[in-house]
Amino acid sequence: MGLGARVVLQIASLIGASLVLVACGGGEGGASTNAPTMIPNPNALVAATPGELAVTISGANRHFSDETYVLAVGLTGSLATSATLSLEDSPSFLELNTQNKVISAQYSVAGEHTVTVSAKSGNKVASASFELIIDASLNARYQGITRSDETSYTALITRSRKIFWEAAPAGDLNPTLHCWGNFETDTTSATGTGHCKRLVSDGVAVVRANFNLNLNEDEVMIEVEYQDSSGSALFSETATAMTRLDREYLDESVDITGIYVSTQLGSLRWIQVDTDNVLRDVGASGYERVRCQVDAVVSNIDVTDVTVRYDGSIKELSGAWDRCDLTDQAGLRILVGDATGLNEGAIRFYESGPDLYFSAHLAREIPTYQDPVSKMNYVRVCSAGNATPIAAEYNVNDDVCLQF
């Protein structure tokens, strides 16, 4: 191209760029006679005004990791009907249904996640972001040992954020510490407070407990500081790897009705569980009992939205216990003690061969009650008017069962 010829250079815009650069040159030596001109790219993405396009998200933003949930996406503005949706930089466990305008998940990873939903119509875009908080599902039974290998811990954690735990010298089946507490979760960890009964040289002492829980897949670490009534620290313990128990869960459809007797003490009133999940003490001719009168209700924990297999044996329990002071029983002081009063807690049904058992974990508020926690164990001896396989060990037969 000779000198003096006019050269026109046009630099094509990149996709997504907002401007096109046009440069013209001419004259001797190709010297430029005009400055570059910036002109708008009509296809560049620009933020829509609220009147043109806006995104809203509705629904709860906090869930357990084993829950399914749905969040609704709303579009407003003059361009709403032509807009398309997408998830931007959001966790992979979320699914976006663009036709129904919903975000859903079948199982989530515990943690705090930023979710951004974008909408686009032509070159107009809008977006909305929110924080999705996923709490680890701690509910289950656990067992582990302290770092010093001196103390064995077992715990039952409920979906309603209650925990019951026991501690015993390693290799010993008799607990020396029995506790309960409430906690608040923070994704993969939890913090709570509670009360315990502790065996001491002259009997049983009530102590406070401040604890932390941390979940790592199927293991829980519990750190506990035990305090006296004034708040002064007594001692601390950490069980670093408490593993989940009960892989064979009791199905929700199992019939739990029937007559149950205590496996701890023969003088306790028998318990009847009816079809309405009501627990009441009962008696049979020739089997008069006076201790531990019960009027309580078992509530199934709502697992409608739970997508993984859930332990249907753990249920909520609330009601009144009367004449249930067993502090005169040396072997039961720590587990039962004085269970008299209004109790809130959990009940766990479980099978052992053909037989059905339950453990009632009872919690009472301090200082209304002097004894904060109890655990009571029962086995079913009558079912549908017939003696169960284990009934003979408790001198119960079909004739006795026909009384109920």
Please give the residue that has the higher pLDDT: either 25 or 292. 292
Asked if residue 111 and residue 74 are part of one domain, the reply reads yes
Residue 1 pLDDT more than 70? Answer: no
**Residue 283 and residue 289 in contact, taking contact as beta carbons nearer than 8 Å:** yes
Q: How confident is the model over 146-178, as pLDDT tens digits? A: 988 899 999 999 988 999 999 999 988 899 999
Residue 33 lies in a domain: no
Look up residue 32 and give its two tokens. 């430029």
Asked if residue 144 and residue 129 are part of one domain, the reply reads no
Asked if residue 274 and residue 210 are part of one domain, the reply reads no
How many angstroms separate the CA atoms of 24 and 7, rounded?
A: 6
Asked if residue 283 and residue 381 are part of one domain, the reply reads yes
pLDDT value at residue 247: 59
How many angstroms separate the CA atoms of 404 and 272, rounded?
A: 9
Asked if residue 265 and residue 211 are part of one domain, the reply reads no
Closest CA to 136 of 308, 372, 328, 334: 308
Residue 6 lies in a domain: no
Half-sphere exposure of 400 (CA within 13 A, CB side): 23
Please give the residue that has the higher pLDDT: either 297 or 6. 297
Asked if residue 216 and residue 296 are part of one domain, the reply reads no
| CATH code, domain carrying 124 | 2.60.40.10
Asked if residue 122 and residue 149 are part of one domain, the reply reads no
**Between vectors from CA 173 to CA 167 and to CA 176, what angle results, nearest 5°?**
35
The bridge status of strand 270-273 relative to strand 278-282 is: antiparallel
pLDDT value at residue 215: 87
Asked if residue 206 and residue 120 are part of one domain, the reply reads no
Residue 28 lies in a domain: no
How many angstroms separate the CA atoms of 358 and 273, rounded?
A: 11
Residue 209 lies in a domain: yes
pLDDT value at residue 112: 95
Q: What are phi and psi of 33, to 5 degrees?
A: -105, -15
pLDDT value at residue 309: 65
Residue 173 lies in a domain: yes
Residue span of the structural domain in which 161 resides: 140-244
What's the whole-number mean pLDDT along residues 382-388? 96
Q: What are phi and psi of 214, to 5 degrees?
A: -135, 130
Tally the domains of the chain: 3
Asked if residue 262 and residue 392 are part of one domain, the reply reads yes
DSSP-assigned letter for residue 306: B
Residue 102 lies in a domain: yes
Asked if residue 383 and residue 267 are part of one domain, the reply reads yes
List of residues 6+ apart from 140 with CB closer than 8 A:
156, 157, 244, 245, 246, 311, 314
Residue 41 lies in a domain: no
Asked if residue 147 and residue 128 are part of one domain, the reply reads no
Closest CA to 69 of 79, 77, 59: 59
Q: How confident is the model over 215-271, as pLDDT tens digits? A: 887 789 999 999 998 999 999 999 988 998 865 567 778 899 999 999 999 999 999
Residue 223 lies in a domain: yes
Half-sphere exposure of 275 (CA within 13 A, CB side): 1
pTM of the model: 0.82
Residue 11 pLDDT more than 70? Answer: no
Asked if residue 235 and residue 328 are part of one domain, the reply reads no
Residue 397 pLDDT more than 60? Answer: yes
